[in-house]
Chains A and B, each alone.
Chain A
C-alpha cells in the first residue's frame, strides 16, 4: 500500500482533533471498503486515524424499547448478539447476511453508514427502523442522514459514535443478493413500528430510499398482497452489469412482498 501516517487515538475527542488537523486524512473503521479503495488508489489519504482502540465506540446496549450499537461494533457481534436477536431479530438477521464471515469479523456498523455504499445492507435497517445516528456533535434522524451516492449528512471530521434503533412491533429484511459479493442488488427492510409502517429500499437507487405508497398500503393492511400491485418507477434507479433499472424496480415489489411475509412469521 502507499505510505501514510498512522494514528491510533484512544478517545473520540482525540480522534476528532486529529481529523480536524489532517485535511487529507481519513477515519479507519473496519477497513473493508477504505483499505480496498486505497489499494485501488481511489483513495490516498495522507493519514489514517484508526478508531479501533476507542472502547467507547464498541458494544451493544438494549434499553427498554431501543437497541444502541456502538459505531465500531463488528457485523458478527450484531449477528450473534442474543440481545439484538431478542429485541430486533430482523437487525441481527440483516447483519448475518452481510458479506462473508471474514468481512463480518472486520466490518463495522459505523463504517458501513459513513461509507453509504448504495448496495450496503445496514442503511436499509437504519432508514427502515427510523433509527437515530449519534455523532460526536449531534443526533441525526435516519431520514436526514442519507443524502445520495456515498453521501451522508456527516461533516468532515464528524465521527459516528453509535446508532440507536427503536424496536418495532415486527420487521423483516429480505434481499436479492449478488451471489459473489452478497451485496444487495435490491434489499427491502419493512418495519411495523407501532407509529406507522416504514419501507426502506437499498441497492436499487444511488442511496437508500423509502416507498411512501407501500408504507400507506401496509398501514391500512399489513399483508404481502397489500404491496403486490405497487410498482416503483425505474427512472433514476441503478443499472449495472448485474441488473437493469427496470429489473431492480421489479425486484423492489417482489422483495417488499417477501419482507412483509417474513415479518408476519
Chain B
C-alpha cells in the first residue's frame, strides 16, 4: 500500500467565498467545514446519514456532509447555515424558527434550515405535505415538528411578500 498523502490543498467555495484549505483527503465535508474552516454551525449527529443534522447545500441541493468527502466538493457551491443571514439581518427562515419555537435544543436546526431553504428556493408556496416530505430526512427530538412546519410556512409567506 502506498503512503496516504498527509494533506491535499484545494479551494472550496463556501457561502460565496473561495476558501483555500488543506486537509487530509479522507476527511468528510462535515469535518473539513468544522475543523479546517471553523464553521461549526453544521452539526455532527449520527455520522451515518440517518439524522440530517449535518445537512448542507451543495450546488443548491441538500446533502449529508457526513457522508460526502470534501475532496469531491472542489468547484462546487457549498452553503452552510453561516451563510444564511445577510449581515445582521436573519434569513426569514431563521427569524421564523425563532418566532415559532421551531428550535429548542438547536442541534437539528442548522440542518433543518438548510433543507427548508432548498425547498423554498424551488417551491415558494409548498403545501404542508410537501414540507413534511422535504424535511423527512431531518430528525428533531424536541419540537414534535409542528412548530417547524409552521415556521417554514411562515417564512415562505414572508419570502413571497418580500418579492412582491
Q: Least Cβ distance of B25 to chain A in Å?
A: 4
Would you call A8 and B71 a contact (CB within 8 A)?
yes
Known: A5-B1, A31-B69, A36-B48. A102 touches B26 (CB 8 A): no
Interface size class, chain A = 20 to 34
The interface stretch among B13-21, B49-57, B78-86, B94-102 is B49-57
B49 to chain A, nearest CB (A): 6
Residues of B within 8 A of A48 (CB): 26, 69
State whether B137 touches A103 (Cβ < 8 A).
Answer: yes
Inter-chain contact total with CB atoms closer than 8 Å? 81
Q: Report B107-164 residues with CB < 8 Å from chain A CB.
A: 115, 118, 134, 136-137
Given contacts A6-B26, A24-B1, A36-B49, contact A101 B69 (CB under 8 A): no
Q: Are A105 and B26 in contact (CB under 8 A)?
A: no
Q: Does B91 contact A (CB under 8 A)?
A: no
The CA of A260 and the CA of B4, in the complex, are separated in Å by: 53
Residue B47 CB within 8 A of the other chain: yes
A54 contacts chain B at the CB level, 8 A cutoff: no
CB-based contact A100/B136 at 8 Å: yes
Contact of A106 among B24, B67, B115 (CB under 8 A): B67
Inter-chain contact B1/A106, CB cutoff 8 Å: no
> Which residues of chain A have C-beta atoms less than 8 A from B4's C-beta?
3-5
Interface centre among A35, A48, A182 (most CB of B within 10 A): A35
Q: Which residues of A lie under 8 Å from residue B88 when comparing CB positions?
A: none
- Please measure, in the bound complex, the distance between the C-alpha atom of A8 and the C-alpha atom of B62, giving whole angstroms: 23
Given contacts A46-B1, A101-B62, A105-B61, contact A6 B25 (CB under 8 A): yes
With A76-B61, A102-B115 as contacts: A36 and B71 at CB distance below 8 Å = no
Number of interface residues of B (CB under 8 A): 32
Q: Contact at B48–A102, with CB atoms within 8 Å?
A: no
Nearest CB on A from B110, distance (A) = 13
Whether A35 contacts B26 in the complex (CB less than 8 A), given A50-B72, A101-B62, A102-B137, comes out as: no
Collect the chain B residues with CB atoms within 8 Å of residue A102's CB: 49, 52, 55, 62-64, 115, 137
Q: What residue of chain A has the Cβ atom nearest to residue B25's Cβ?
A: A6
> Smallest distance from the beta carbon of A191 to chain B beta carbons, Å?
26
What would be 21 A-B contacts, judged by CB atoms less than 8 Å apart? Answer: A1-B27, A4-B4, A4-B26, A5-B5, A6-B8, A6-B25, A6-B26, A35-B28, A35-B67, A36-B49, A47-B1, A50-B71, A76-B61, A100-B136, A101-B62, A101-B115, A101-B134, A101-B136, A102-B64, A105-B61, A106-B68
| Interface residue ranges, B against A (CB under 8 Å) | 1-2, 4-5, 8, 24-28, 31, 47-50, 52, 55, 58, 61-64, 67-69, 71-72, 115, 118, 134, 136-137
The 5 closest A-B pairs by CB, nearest first: A100-B137, A6-B25, A105-B61, A35-B67, A3-B4
Q: Give 5 A-B pairs besides A6-B26, A39-B48 with Cβ atoms closer than 8 angstroms.
A: A1-B26, A35-B28, A102-B64, A105-B62, A105-B63
